[in-house]
Structure 1
Amino acid sequence: MTKVYYRPIPQGGLPRPEGALPLCGGPLWFTHVERLTREGAQVLPADQLPEDWQRRICRPRPAIAGLSLDVPRVMGILNVTPDSFSDGGSHDAPDAALAHARAMIAAGADMIDVGGESTRPGSAEVPVAEEIARTAPAIERIAPLGVPISIDTRKAGVAKAALAAGGQLINDVSGFAFDPALAPLAAALAAPVCVMHMRRAPEDMHIDPQFDNALLDTYDELAERIDAVEAAGIPRARILADPGIGFAKDVGHNLQILNRLSLFHGLGCAILLGVSRKRFIGTVGQTTTPSERDPGSIAVALAGIAQGVQMVRVHDVAGTAQAIRLWQAVQAGRA
């Protein structure tokens, strides 16, 4: 039996035409959908959207970690690592981490994502004790600033220490497949989570990635991980879904997924998009230096927001926040 998927084709601005359906309770709407199968695609009026898909796509997304999701949100990246691909070693001391968090909040960050283990292609696993020693002190220093903090980890021990230090959300690049204790911990602590799509592990994910259909394979595999997390006791209302751009995907795979990113609203979760300074940005944008990839990163983040993404994970908070303000003004037709 042919599996069918429906992708809303988002539009924005006012006035919203009669009969247009709302997209996840945010600023966008849609009058047409793309009916997708592995054999092809067809554009249909939105009134032909099946009821179960309409319910998942149209219902407003609940607040996550106290943040409403009716406007685009910015998650600022804080790597407290010596070896992250973009800024490793820049913020790995607690004072430096605190200063950078303050700067990102002043620039418009709605949430700070603290990570103590590099997940760049080819990176090695960091022991739990070492990862805790990197992340927990930084989170403890940042927590009084009053902005929600997520812990970027695959490990229950690290997440438990981070939440005890003041963290609120668990962001797992493995989609909660690495440590079987992590999802039950999040459920027990009623912590919201981000479930990301990734195959294999950072050590080898970059070696010859293959998909039959990058978009639909990623959707199906991410749906399976979200179902597993939900079965562990975490309601879908507390789940962010991340398609894992750059993780076990080549340039072509990334662009295929980004081109039809609004399909992922069918998961019934808010979407987080993390593309900042990734290698494909440099490849397409023709720059090898990660810090020079911010213009391309902002361009892709805005393309995602135009497809209804609720949160973007970025290095350049100031530039991204400014771009979003301009995008919102253009959508509204006023400042």
Structure 2
Amino acid sequence: MRLRHPVRTLGRRRFDFDRQVAVMAIVNRTPDSFFDQGATFALDRAVDAALAAAEAGADWVDIGGAKFAPGPEIPAAEELDRVLPVVEAVSARSDVVISVDTFRAEVAAACIAAGAHVVNDTTGLSDPELAGVVAASGASLVITHSLAAPRTPYPHPHYDDIAAEVRAYLELRVERAVAAGVGQDRLFIDPGHDLNKNTVQSLELTRRMAEITAIGLPTLAAVSNKDFIGETLGVPKSERLEGSIVAATACVMLGARVVRMHDVRAAVASMRMLEGILGFRDPVLAVHNV
């Protein structure tokens, strides 16, 4: 896996994705998020969770105000009311990288102005204005594979060749973003585990992750606690940590360089150990049998 632009500056932090794995924490300011079920919906709890994640070693915090899953539309004004004050508060108190999980250009623009460094679009540029907003700023953009319109069902997804189709989709969206003025050095890609995919498809996409990372842009693996892990192991959401760590590790071994995780401490320790195994970082202490 050869990255075209491995060295990135996001806000006040610098990354070399040839030798580094970034841990992205998750803060959902929603009453119905699939995992935490509204635990960080209150503004103070959302801010505290983001700052606690940074303190626990997260490189990056992803702030969302509307979940991807089907449900009633969240008006743009309401979404902005949820995420903007969190972005403002975290930006004022931490140098952690901040992304806003949104597909709307107007939400992205306001959050970038407030201190967000990345727009994490789980809908693959469904809003034709979004790439232009990012291009006009210094922000970066995560382009994710998904097929449904925002907040709408997509039953019985079918792929003849899931890795090839996901790769072709991402390459096309990258071309659109570049045509809109977003430099490749500001782009990330995400194959979209579980997003309009069933468990068998998400498992195949995981083991074929190298075909996605071969695109050459830093790849995000958003696998934490997802249903493909729960269904594979036959466990509820509260018992998916080990499966999440293994899935994230498999993705990194196949070239992913950002992992989106709920349990920050476990993820940071796991990724730092993996960096050591891969020769990306030296041990903190190396005195055994010296």
TM over 0.5: yes
Amino acid at match of 1:247: L
| Structure 2 counterpart of 1:250 | 198
Contact 1:101 1:112 in 2 (8 A): yes
| Structure 1 counterpart of 2:252 | 305
| Structure 1 counterpart of 2:287 | none
Contact 1:123 1:202 in 2 (8 A): no
Work out the CA distance in 2 between the residues paired with 1:200 and 1:59: 30
CA deviations on 1:248-296 (whole Å, 9 max, x unpaired) are 11111111111110112332211111011111110012112x2321111
TM-score by length of 1: 0.79
Work out the CA distance in 1 between the residues paired with 2:131 and 2:276: 39
Secondary structure of residue in 1 paired with 2:157: coil
Aligned pairs for 1:1-335 within 5 A: 23=1, 57=2, 59-65=4-10, 66-68=13-15, 69=17, 70-120=19-69, 122-144=70-92, 145-176=94-125, 178-288=126-236, 290-332=237-279, 335=283
Work out the CA distance in 1 between the residues paired with 2:22 and 2:217: 15
Structure 2 residue runs without a partner (length 5+): 284-290
Work out the CA distance in 1 between the residues paired with 2:63 and 2:89: 12
Q: Which has the larger radius of gyration?
A: 1
Amino acid at match of 1:93: A
Work out the CA distance in 2 between the residues paired with 1:165 and 1:305: 31
Amino acid at match of 1:281: I
Work out the CA distance in 1 between the residues paired with 2:9 and 2:154: 31
Contact 1:205 1:247 in 2 (8 A): no
Amino acid at match of 1:191: A
Classify 1:283/1:164 alpha carbon distance in 2 versus 1 (closer, same or farther; 3 Å). Answer: same
- Of the structure 1 ranges 196-205 and 109-118, higher mean CA displacement relative to structure 2 is found in 196-205
Count matched residues: 277
Secondary structure of residue in 2 paired with 1:308: coil
Contact 2:3 2:217 in 1 (8 A): no
| Structure 2 counterpart of 1:48 | none
Secondary structure of residue in 2 paired with 1:74: strand
Shift of 1:93: 1.9
Structure 1 residue runs without a partner (length 5+): 1-22, 24-56
Amino acid at match of 1:310: R
Work out the CA distance in 2 between the residues paired with 1:244 and 1:98: 26
Work out the CA distance in 1 between the residues paired with 2:5 and 2:85: 36
Contact 1:215 1:253 in 2 (8 A): no
**How big is the alpha-carbon RMSD for the aligned residues of Structure 1 and Structure 2?**
1.6
Work out the CA distance in 2 between the residues paired with 1:258 and 1:216: 13
Work out the CA distance in 2 between the residues paired with 1:76 and 1:272: 12
Shift of 1:190: 2.7
Shift of 1:146: 1.3
Contact 2:221 2:256 in 1 (8 A): yes
Amino acid at match of 1:184: G
